[in-house]
Chain A
Amino acid sequence: MKLKTLLAAGVVAMSSTAAFAGCAIENSVPLKSLSAGFEAWKAVTDAMGECGNFEASLDQEFREKQPEAFAADPSLYHIGGVANATMIPLLNAGSIRPLDDLVAKYGQNLTPNQLIKVDGKVMAVAMMVNAQHMMYRADILEDLGIAQPTTWGEVLAAAEKIKAAGVVEYPLGGTFKTGWNLGEEFVNMYLGEGGTFIGEGNMPTINNAQGVAALETMKAMTAYMDPEYLVSDSTYVQQQFQQGKIAMANLWASRAAAMDDEAESQVVGKVVMAAAPNGSAAPASSLWWDGIVFASNMSDEEADAAFQVAMEGIDSEMVSANNDAAVWLIKGYTPGKLATGAAATAANGALPYPASGPMGIMHTELGNGIADYLNGAKDAATTLADIEAAYMTAAKEAGLVQ
């Protein structure tokens, strides 16, 4: 007993020393950051905070604030957290700076993979990847003698068997909430069919056989899903999983840790992370990255300090302390069993999310337009034609299409 207490005290003492020693530099320039608010960003900004003089805003609505805040002169924030798509408005407005010289000076620990290059210049430093991939209840599939499904055809067949066996309430879960989530599901499926979204002159190119195939797979899925699928977002699907109500879902890698969270989950250790099922051409998933950008409108001294602090935030120490919080791209990360799904999805050739200005509009129109097809109000071809028409209206208004 006494020994245990002593040991525990020792561990606490050691970890607090580790916290003090968390930052190698002493920062004297006041710095601010604005990023999304999920677990990984919390870990990274906490690590940055150890350098002192640093204030982090973790905000789920960051993408609405960022363009204006970074366009101000001087910029309201020095460091920004972005993903593929949310970097576009900053890039377009020229409010983030090229980082080549800073990377050369302070970026010894970065891997080439982390450097996000646009037109040859490093514009952001990536820290993690995220993708939707297959999660399934190994115990259920094993009981029913179903092999790990690798294509959407197999997933639907497995769902049929699970439905017949009646072991869970709904065989499939899906992040089909109207809006961004539903749009993203189509993006995944359509990439899986080998489609492209935007063609020459920013014209839409989704009304084709691949688009119809993607929609049909989505509709086939709904037969095995909670009938209230149009209101279920990632958190809802995650909870359905945790409560043992669903057996399979193509869910975000960042949600994987929640499956084994003993405080919330009733299915600890039963959920296996696997690659995203394939469509007829590629994995039905898109790769996202999250990373750090730096404002143009700040002095070079501030940029220097901000970059150094950011490097401390995404160093190997932070990763080893928060190994399972995300699928990190940082040196020192050991991919655990929770990361296998995302890794396998990428290895199978999943494409990056095709972020661009026109794609932002396309994603919105997809998210708003697909519900009509799933509700049965329109057939697949009409739905896609209407989405293209809506895209054209919005793109013309934005000046992207003449």
Chain B
Amino acid sequence: MKFKTFAAFIGPSVFMMLLFIAFPLVSVFQQSFYITQPIYELVDVETCTPGFLTQTCVTETQSMPTLDEHGEIITQTEFVGLQSYRNVLELGRAWEALSAGSWTAFQSIDFWKALRFTLSFTLITLPLVICAGLGIAVMINNATKAVRGPVIFISLLPFIITPVIGALSINWLFRGDGILTAALEWYLQRDIAMFAQAWTIEILMMFYRVWHVAPFAAIVFYAGLQTVNQDSLESAIIDGASRWQRLKYIIIPHLMPLIVFISMIHLMDSYRVFEEIVGFSSQGHVISLQWLTYDFLVPDQAGNRSISRASASAMLTMIGIALLLVPLLRRTWRDHHGGH
């Protein structure tokens, strides 16, 4: 293909990528080193608010932002280096807690609390998603042709449901005396509160994530299963290989590139776990890195938001994903080069 044709094809896509991904990323990166604040002045203000019958008036000194002649708030932007990163990481407190040997104190620092959950969530759901996905794929593959369509449709359903809605419905099934909690209580003859402690919420979240993502893995694996060399399988059967041995020595090695692919997608996705936190409203017990960024970004009632810390936290999340992907990327790199 001529370079000109190639460029015409790829140009719009590159432009969009630059505009909507690269530039915002650069901007976030830059903002994480700067702080923008209004310039406040102290003013004595008398404020009157209604009581039920009469007003109460108080006079107090308040910080009011100064306005320019157009009525806009005057702001100043200042380079602060790594200050926002330090504010997010709170290394001093973390080190103090660790050297005192107190895991509880360490886990009460937002970033490390979020990192602990995010990592365990990612690493525990990863093998579960792959196993469940493979299981479903094998099941579909072994189903007779007549029912294969409906089976594929049903197993894809969880993946189609909007994540927040899915998380909310699990929440309602288990919350308070939700149907499933009531059923469990009846079966175990004891009172159960799924949302009263962190570990039960974490289990529900992981269960939800696996339920939600496994169909995607399954459909990819199912596609892979169609290309397994039937001759090798037949000869394995003739050699007396059991079903398990065939899976282990022929099918899984064949699917390995797909398993790596699914793992990468899953690591990237679940390291950004967010819908579960919102859907289960678990902030009191469990938070994730992505939720932390969101929390910095949401303005409070008085309109303050922490853009700089949000930027820093977003950059840290990206670095975390990159680190997690390194082993898998190295593997693909090696395979790629070994093949040539």
Interface of A toward B, CB cutoff 8 Å: 63-64, 67, 71, 84-86, 88-89, 92-95, 112-120, 126, 129, 177-180, 182, 200, 202, 226-231, 236, 287, 289, 296, 327, 329, 342-343, 346-347, 351-352, 355-361, 363-364, 368, 371-372, 374-375, 377-378, 386, 393-394, 397-400
Contacts and interface: CB of A to CB of B under 8 A. Distances in A.
Nearest to A339: B52
Contacts of A329: 50
Chain B: interface residue count, which band? 35 or more
Interface of B: 35, 37-40, 43, 45-57, 61-65, 67, 71-73, 84, 87, 104-105, 107-108, 110, 175-176, 193-196, 198, 280-285, 295, 298-304, 306, 308-309
Given A227-B193, A375-B284, A397-B37, A363 B301 contact: yes
Contacts of A118: 45-48
Contacts of B40: 399-400
Contacts of A327: 52
Given A178-B283, A360-B303, A399-B39, A352 B49 contact: yes
Nearest to B305: A398
Contacts of B62: 356-357
A228 B301 contact: no
B124 to A, nearest CB: 22
A375 to B, nearest CB: 7
Contacts, number: 177
A106 to B, nearest CB: 19
Nearest to A92: B65
A116 B175 contact: no
Contact of B52 (A236, A343, A356): A343
Contact of A117 (B48, B65, B73, B195): B48
Given A178-B283, A378-B108, A397-B35, A116 B300 contact: no
Most buried by B among A86, A117, A126: A117
A276 to B, nearest CB: 13
B71 A88 contact: no
B56 A117 contact: no
A399 B37 contact: yes
A343 B64 CA distance: 33
Given A85-B301, A363-B301, A397 B306 contact: yes
Given A112-B55, A129-B50, A327-B52, 17 more contacts: A113-B54, A117-B48, A117-B57, A177-B281, A177-B284, A178-B284, A230-B284, A231-B175, A231-B282, A329-B50, A346-B53, A358-B63, A360-B301, A371-B283, A371-B284, A386-B108, A393-B309
A257 B50 CA distance: 22
Given A113-B53, A231-B282, A371-B284, A359 B302 contact: yes
A119 B65 contact: no
B304 A398 contact: yes
Contacts of B63: 202, 356-358, 400
Contacts of A343: 52
A126 B49 CA distance: 9
B50 A114 contact: yes
Nearest to B194: A228
A397 B309 contact: yes
Contacts of B298: 64
Nearest to B78: A399
A116 B195 CA distance: 42
Contacts of A94: 67, 71, 73
A79 to B, nearest CB: 19
The listed residue with most A CB atoms (<10 A of its CB), out of B35, B57, B298, B303, is B303
Contacts of A378: 104-105, 108
